[in-house]
Structure 1
Amino acid sequence: MSLENPAVISVLVEGALGVEAARGALDALDVDPVLMAQRGRQVSRAAFAMAMNIALFQNLLTRVPSGAAYVADRVARGGRIMFDHGALRTVRLVEGPTGELPPGEDAFTRILLPLGYELAAVYPLDRLRMTGRAYRHADMAEAVPQFFLSELHVDRFDPEFAEVAARVFGTSRDPLTAEARAVLGKYAEERPVSLDEAMKALPAIIAAFDCQHAPASIEDYELLLSRSHEAGWIATEGNAFNHATDRVADVAALAERLKAEDWPMKDRLEISRTGRVRQTAFRADTVDRLFAGNEMRRVPGSFYEFISRDIDPETGGLDLAFDTGNATGIFAMTSAH
């Protein structure tokens, strides 16, 4: 790699993950050649967003053995992964911030909007007492992964739940450094960002996609879980990727093959009201998590998802929408233990 004219995404991902993990991620993912061709000492917002997504995808695989095994199998068969979207869960307390973090999804829109993401659609998840929002990249909507950013509304629960949620999530710290804020500010103002600035900022921005609060007590965790599987999940996993999604040509055929090979598949396919978006997933892997008082417990972690998207006849491009029913069905993957 030329140090005078470096490949921007490769440099950023190597800086964030280390050379070996970066090579593995870049070899596994089908990244748009236009993005991979960006070279030089400045970093476009699309290139930064893609590098961030690659690092987050690789991070998910370190926590989801079933996903890592699937990706290894796919690569061994000569294929690559088209990373469609990542999903996050956030908490909006009854009032005020979430500890040091901005409330709910604001903790991530402050990252996504400067990087070129736009709100594409809102999906009420009323049965879960949540709202999902899709954020799509303005520059390369089909090539840069979307975010499905959901928000748990604590004010829709009882006062005891609200008290425990404030106690657990109120300990959240804010991982964004001054360098990260400065780079996001430059992108927001459409000013140039140098490769050196981007390399310093990226690790702190990646760190935002993690658990920021102190370990909950078993009692507080169980109360949250008794009212909301999603709240219980956030209590142990925080704002880490809930799942990452592989865009495939025929998800139904893939699901049948994976079931036949005894992969931990969801029982049925989720099909959108339009019929154009079809999704399924592996069941969440279990993980050991530390609770207050040094207690350990096995809980549902994150998972790996699959999606097929047909052409939207109105636009002539891929139907990049989500679906409230699909999302609610997919969310159940972390409560199936």
Structure 2
Amino acid sequence: MTEVASIVRRVLGDAAADEVLATVDLGHGWCQAPSVATAAVERADVAHALHVVLYADLMEVVPSAAAYAVDQRAAGRGVVLDHAAVRTVAWPAGALPPGIEQVTRILRPLGYERHATYPLTRLRMTGHAYAHLDRPEVVPQWFVSELHPDTFSPAFQDAVTRVLAPSTDPLDTATRDRLARLAADRSLPLDDAVALVDALRRSFGRQHPLPTDRDHDLLRAESAEMAWIATEGTTCNHCTDRVDDVAAVADRERERGRPIKDTVEVSASGRVRQTAHRATTVVRALRTLEGDVVEREVPGSFFEVISRDPLPEGGLDLAFDAANATGIFAMTRPADAGEPGEPA
């Protein structure tokens, strides 16, 4: 059993671990699991295990992702986890660091480094891509986006403040200590690695109370993306399977009646092609100003597929593309929302 699988099994339990480990392809060159709890687990293994755990969590709440996984297992193919995405806000957020620092304070000790920044102008956001320093083609990347409320109306900014101000920090002292030791030593004993992944798993979620229905409406009128963050927070927005032919996969998903995007996004280089399932609809209980509860159907998370061609000089093209990303963001836009940059 690999170190990654050892951590996943101890965090998820046998039943959930059996399912996800039968689904994913963990890649090649992984060391065998340590025989005792004091053996060192490399940071790349910790980073990969966290991603597998978050993918398992996503399959629990995104039915189309779970159905896709069943098909891959039946075909004898392992899902190659390419990247996950989270959304942040460049704005004061209570006990949390503002913007991408909420996530990068976790990614840096795990061994990630930002390798590119993408202006998402139509969304009034910026995307930041993080690849792993040790095994960039095997350990899944992260795409961390940041919304800029200062480019919206004063009323919008006030609503963002009301939503984010009560945020709490999920990282306790023990978790911070383990992150610091992982950053310094680039490894942790197995027991500490398990505890860290379990704690970090809980950090990918909403850290503030649900918004009022009035604030949700106000945010949604100017930014479907901020409205999503208001109800979902830094939940894993999507996970991604790296496939050989994304167009062929999209056609098969369409034949199976799954909610696949109508088109495939192609990067300016032509080497990166992406498409995705439309976001799962979830129900969130929002509060009114009078204190009543109103249930709203809103977009949740989704699942993506991507194809990456080699670079001319060799190695896989791990880049993203601003236009591609903007197209993929549309998967969480409500059906009655306007185009990005227009009132939703």
Tell me whether the two structures share a fold, i.e. TM-score over 0.5. yes
Q: From 234, 240, 244, give the equivalent of 1:239.
A: 234
Contact 1:277/1:309 (<8 A) preserved:
yes
Give the counterpart letter for 2:176 in structure 1: R
Consecutive unaligned residues in structure 1, runs of 5 or more = 2-6
1:332 maps to 330
1:236-258 deviation per Cα after TM superposition (whole angstroms, max 9, x unaligned): 11101111111000001111222
Instruction: Give 1:283 shift.
Output: 0.8
**Superposed, which structure 2 residues align to 1:90-239 within 5 Å?**
90-93=88-91, 97-190=92-185, 192-239=187-234
Instruction: Give 1:177 shift.
Output: 1.7
Contact 1:277/1:321 (<8 A) preserved:
yes
1:50-72 deviation per Cα after TM superposition (whole angstroms, max 9, x unaligned): 11000011111111111111111
TM-score when normalising by structure 2:
0.92
**What is the CA–CA distance in structure 2 between the aligned matches of 1:271 and 1:256, rounded to whole Å?**
16
Count of matched residue positions in the alignment of Structure 1 and Structure 2 = 328
Report the aligned-residue RMSD. Answer: 1.3
2:307 maps to 308
Contact 2:266/2:273 (<8 A) preserved:
yes
1:4 maps to none
Instruction: Give 1:199 shift.
Output: 1.9
Identity %: 48
1:8 maps to 3
1:52 maps to 50
Change (3 A) 1:239 1:290: same
**What is the CA–CA distance in structure 1 between the aligned matches of 2:118 and 2:144, rounded to whole Å?**
10
Q: From 1, 19, 29, give the equivalent of 1:24.
A: 19
Contact 2:34/2:190 (<8 A) preserved:
no
2:59 counterpart of 1:64: no
3-state secondary structure, aligned to 1:28: coil
Change (3 A) 1:22 1:269: same
1:282-337 deviation per Cα after TM superposition (whole angstroms, max 9, x unaligned): 111101112123321111111110100001112x0110000000000000000043
2:82 maps to 84
Change (3 A) 1:196 1:261: closer
Q: Which has the larger displacement, 124-133 or 27-36?
A: 27-36
1:18-49 deviation per Cα after TM superposition (whole angstroms, max 9, x unaligned): 11111111110000232363434221100100
Instruction: Give 1:11 shift.
Output: 2.5
Contact 1:179/1:197 (<8 A) preserved:
no
